[in-house]
């Protein structure tokens, strides 16, 4: 069996090219692939399009803006409610230095699922008449105005899971699945950082959330008590 | 005109909690609505859904050992109740958009008399952040907005038409504020309850849209 | 908490009306809600539209045709490969007595998911130029011809699961999820027959496949060693 | 003309199995293709997906205690290998349609020289049953058709154009029959291998479309 296990986050993303589109899982503190993000910050790869639920609340991802690695974000949260805590992305957005595609959170998740599931496009009743529908086709279906949405795919997906087996099967913890489980289906190279890797057969087939066929690379990164980005921020 | 003194944010949450019935599936938006989970009567089993992937969480957890994977959509630590389950984001929003939530309790910046909701962007602050608000406003069977009746500067928030960019049109069913409980009806806003010590006239005075008094305007109960 | 447990399959479908649309889970021998189907056969309710993966291979569902209860089937298998084993549905279809909407299996699953997930319609690259696309809109997306597909919903869904807790959370066994897990999201009244009902809290939140909010009614029906429809057929 | 005697169905399956590589995700269609799972070399770990919801099953199970929930898409009992997992139908077909399967091995009634596949409906029998064939033919990265080279009556199945209703157009990459291994290429069918004791001319004689011989036509190896 092909070995998917890499020795470090750096090694697991060694071939991530300039200008790549990168999906990053995580929601607030849950399921954030922070070691992979840090490795990408260290690597300094520029021209990135980042697809992430929140670039405003996730300071790990926001750190990619320190050296202007982000060209564009596709996200549901780009600006924090409080003006007192502006992120780097927000600063650069207000200066016109980065591009923003703002997407309702459910539509973001569904577009990623569509990218992984071979759906060419789909209609949702969400956001007609709002800024999130600007420039998009609309259509009345079943008596209700819908917006046509397109799938999202990426070159790389950064995933945080709880355990993996060596075949790449993943299980998560609590609210850790969030965008990780859909992003795992929608990128050419899926890299999962996990708390622990177990032997093939150690995960119950009934409990696997992400099948190993979706996962290309694994790296073990234990979580510390304090996320690194809080220390550094 | 002096803005009457309303009830606390906690009492707004308590009043909203009284709208919830046994067995309901309910999503609580970021901010004030998250307080509602703490005020559900013990004999009422409500399935709180957090769009980040938990269904069946309880109140906000005690300070102490913080588990970063057990949080609500506001990032606050929560506990799981018996019967809880975990979802991914696509599953959580399939549940929301598919009409499987009985109630969404959302924060608000402005609500119009036809039920339009603006809650995602303050123009002066610029935007944006949408989060799950648009999905929740359109997907939940019943939308309750929990907010202060006016801005801090005293400007009305219950309007004939929203001036801020909309989250969703014609989605709000009930508004619970520090001053009143107001339903959205075919004829516009119906004033159903007023805060203790506040008169319907005082509420109307800080409301731009017309409030049609219900046949029996009562005092808010908690 | 509302009690979802019913004492018999008959009681669990006591209000299923004439002309109803009924989704029925199951795939060959796996996860077939056979006791609910049998109760519907006994009940004799007519004018049904049945949405089921295979009306050809599933003799339990085919038994609904004995007394002409089925008006229409939406299915991916309506006719067996061997002419020697014709089902009742096939007989009635060839006589023009029942209506057939033949759907590729993946599109059938996705249309049901869409019905449960509030998707107004969606494009798939499956079946353009084939009979399964007749009369449907097509569109080139991403350089590939796609077919526009509509969501499916039902009045009732019959589900077979392994265990339920009293809140309706479900877990399955092996290949038993099949159409059950999606159908559980797409009907007004979802009835699950299960091997066993356990107390709330006995199922691990990480292992629940169908959240209880989707499930309206439960009935415990142990499986016998031989399915009833084989005895009777 | 006498139809040459080809190899057994089992040997067709053995030959197909040689196309599979370590780590591949593979779906086996109903009928002949299901045999392939039994002939994968022990040192090659293939993830067999059954669209009814199993990923990582092994060979067909021994007779004996039949578990109705452990079956492949043909309804045959199978065993789960270490690393297997369970899917629902929407998840299984998201994997198929989304291009996550390396190979689909499908049965065939007719294949055209541009790669069209007809395998779901025999017009004389009437129709229909589609099952998962259309999804698999379009979704898998590589489609291998495993079938007898001709009908029982001796009519060709490798045609210039399919006369039966199509499953999918331009989807087939390789055809393995009892007489030959034929690739679909931009110039049409390329004859790569012939069954032991069978000549390229004999294969062409029972093939309607033109077979372009590969530079090194070899004998099928098992």
Which ranges in chain D belong to alpha helices (H)? Answer: 9-17, 89-97, 133-139, 200-205
Minimal-distance CA residue of chain B relative to A223: B68
**Are the beta carbons of C121 and A146 separated by less than 8 Å?**
yes
Distance of alpha carbon D199 from alpha carbon D179, whole angstroms: 9
For residues B204 and B199, give the distance between their C-alpha atoms in angstroms, rounded to a whole number.
9
**Contact: chain B with chain A (3+ CB pairs below 8 Å):** yes
From the CA of C32, how many Å to the nearest CA of chain D? 9
- Residue C226 pLDDT more than 70? no
Return residues 122-141 of D near A (CB < 8 Å).
Answer: 139
List subunits contacting chain C, requiring 3 or more Cβ pairs under 8 Å: A, B, D
Kindly list the residues from chain A whose CB atom is less than 8 angstroms away from the CB atom of residue B134.
104, 106-107, 126-127, 130, 132
| Residues of D with catalytic roles | 51
Spatial contact of C170 and C161, defined as CB atoms under 8 Å apart:
yes
Total CB pairs under 8 A between chain A and B = 160
* Pair A129, A138: CB distance under 8 Å: no
Distance from the Cα of C39 to chain B's closest Cα (Å) equals 27
What integer pLDDT is reported at residue C132 of this predicted model?
86
* Chain C CB within 8 Å of residue D50 CB: yes
How many contacts, defined by CB atoms under 8 Å, are there between B and C?
A: 58
How many Å separate Cα A65 from the centre of its chain? 16
Q: Are C31 and C175 in contact (CB under 8 A)?
A: yes
D134 and C106 within 8 Å at the Cβ level: the answer is yes
Q: What is the pLDDT of residues C166-190, one digit of tens each?
A: 999 999 999 999 999 999 999 999 9
Name the pLDDT band for C60 (thresholds 50, 70, 90): confident
C-alpha closest to that of D222 among D46, D72, D7 = D7
The H-or-E segment that residue D85 falls in is: strand D78-86
Best mutation target, C213, C216, C218, to test chain B (most B CBs within 10 A): C213
Quick one: which of D67, D28, D57, A211 has its CA closest to C173? D67
**Chains C and D touch, contact meaning at least 3 pairs of CB atoms under 8 angstroms apart:** yes
Q: CA of B110 to nearest chain C CA: how many angstroms apart?
A: 26
Q: Quick one: which H or E segment has residue D194?
A: strand D188-194
Interface test with B, best of C5, C165, C211 (most B CBs within 10 A): C211
Residue B137 CA to residue B105 CA, distance in Å, equals 9
Give chain B's residues under pLDDT 70: 1, 63-64, 127
Percentages helix, strand, coil for chain A, rounded to the nearest 5?
Answer: 25, 30, 40
Cα C55 from Cα C141, distance rounded (Å): 33
Q: Is B126 close to A178, i.e. CB distance below 8 A?
A: no
For B124, other C-beta atoms within 10 Å of its C-beta total 7
Q: Which tokens in the block code for residue B161?
A: 């038409």
Burial class (CB in 10 A: 0-12, 13-18, 19+), B64: exposed
The answer to whether A183 and A198 are in contact (CB under 8 A) is no
pLDDT tens sequence for chain D (222 residues): 578 899 999 999 999 999 999 999 999 998 899 999 999 988 899 999 999 999 999 877 776 678 899 999 988 999 999 999 999 999 999 999 999 999 999 999 999 999 999 998 878 777 678 999 999 999 999 999 999 999 999 999 999 999 999 999 999 999 999 999 999 999 999 999 999 999 999 999 999 999 999 999 999 998
Residue with tokens 């059938």: C108
Q: D154 is written with which tokens? A: 């001796």
**Measured between beta carbons, which residues in chain A are less than 8 angstroms from residue D139?**
118
CA distance B40 to chain C (A): 14
Cβ of D87 under 8 Å from any chain A Cβ? yes
> What is this model's ipTM?
0.96
Q: Answer for the pair B172, B116: CB distance below 8 angstroms, yes or no.
A: yes
Whether the Cβ atoms of residue D51 and residue D136 lie closer than 8 Å to each other: yes
Q: What is the DSSP string of B131-191?
A: TTHHHHHHHSSEEEEE--SB-TT--BSEESS--SPPSBSS---EEE-SSEEEEEETTEEEE
Residue C230 pLDDT > 70: no
Question: How is residue B117 written in tokens?
Answer: 């909701």
Tell me the pLDDT tens digit for each residue of C65-105: 999 999 999 999 988 766 667 889 999 999 999 999 999 99
Taking the C-alpha atoms of residue C105 and residue A232, their distance in angstroms, rounded to an integer, is 51
Q: Which one-letter DSSP state was computed for residue A120?
A: -
Entry pTM: 0.96
CA distance A56 to B49: 23
- What share of chain A has pLDDT > 90, as a percent? 81
| Contact flag A211-D55 (C-beta cutoff 8 Å) | yes
Residue C96: which residues within 8 A CB-CB, separation 6 or more? none
B171 touches chain A (CB under 8 A): no
Contact D130 C102 (CB under 8 A): yes
Q: What are the structure tokens assigned to D80, written together?
A: 């789960």
pLDDT at residue number A226: 41
Report the SS3 class of residue A109. helix
């Amino acid at each position: 069996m092909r070995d998917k296990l890499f020795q470090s986050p750096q090694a697991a993303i060694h071939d991530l090219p300039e200008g790549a589109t990168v999906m990053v899982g995580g929601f607030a503190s849950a399921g954030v692939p922070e070691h992979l993000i840090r490795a990408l910050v260290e690597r300094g790869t520029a021209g990135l399009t980042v697809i992430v639920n929140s670039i405003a609340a996730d300071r790990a991802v926001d750190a990619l803006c320190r050296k202007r690695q982000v060209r564009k974000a596709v996200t549901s949260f780009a600006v924090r409610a409080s003006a007192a805590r502006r992120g780097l992305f927000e600063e650069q957005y207000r200066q016109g230095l980065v591009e923003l595609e703002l997407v309702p959170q459910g539509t973001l998740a569904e577009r990623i699922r569509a990218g992984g599931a071979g759906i060419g496009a789909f209609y949702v009743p969400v956001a007609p008449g709002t800024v999130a529908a600007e420039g998009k086709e609309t259509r009345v279906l079943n008596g209700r105005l819908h917006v046509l949405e397109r799938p999202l795919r990426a070159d790389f997906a950064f995933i945080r899971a709880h355990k993996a087996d060596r075949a790449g099967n993943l299980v998560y913890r609590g609210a850790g699945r969030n965008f990780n489980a859909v992003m795992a289906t929608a990128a050419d190279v899926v890299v999962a950082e996990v708390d622990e890797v177990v032997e093939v057969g150690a995960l119950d087939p009934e409990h696997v959330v992400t099948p190993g066929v979706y996962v290309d690379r694994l790296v073990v990164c234990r979580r510390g008590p304090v996320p690194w980005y809080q220390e550094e921020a | 005109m002096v803005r009457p003194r309303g009830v606390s944010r906690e009492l707004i949450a308590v009043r909203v909690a009284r709208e919830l019935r046994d067995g309901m599936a309910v999503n609580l938006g970021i901010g004030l609505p998250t307080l509602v989970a703490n005020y559900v009567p013990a004999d009422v089993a409500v399935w709180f859904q957090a769009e980040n992937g938990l269904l069946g969480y309880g109140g906000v957890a005690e300070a102490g050992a913080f588990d970063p994977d057990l949080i609500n959509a506001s990032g606050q630590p929560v506990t799981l109740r018996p019967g809880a389950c975990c979802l991914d984001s696509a599953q959580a929003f399939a549940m929301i958009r598919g009409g499987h939530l009985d109630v969404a309790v959302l924060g608000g910046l402005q609500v119009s008399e036809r039920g339009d909701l603006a809650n995602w962007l303050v123009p002066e602050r610029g935007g944006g952040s949408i989060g799950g608000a648009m999905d929740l406003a359109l997907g939940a069977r019943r939308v309750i907005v929990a907010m202060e009746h006016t801005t801090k500067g005293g400007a009305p928030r219950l309007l004939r038409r929203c001036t801020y960019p909309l989250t969703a049109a014609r989605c709000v069913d009930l508004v619970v504020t520090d001053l009143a409980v107001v339903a959205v009806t075919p004829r516009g806003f119906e004033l159903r309850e007023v805060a203790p010590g506040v008169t319907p006239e005082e509420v109307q005075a800080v409301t731009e849209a017309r409030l049609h008094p219900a046949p029996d305007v009562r005092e808010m109960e908690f």
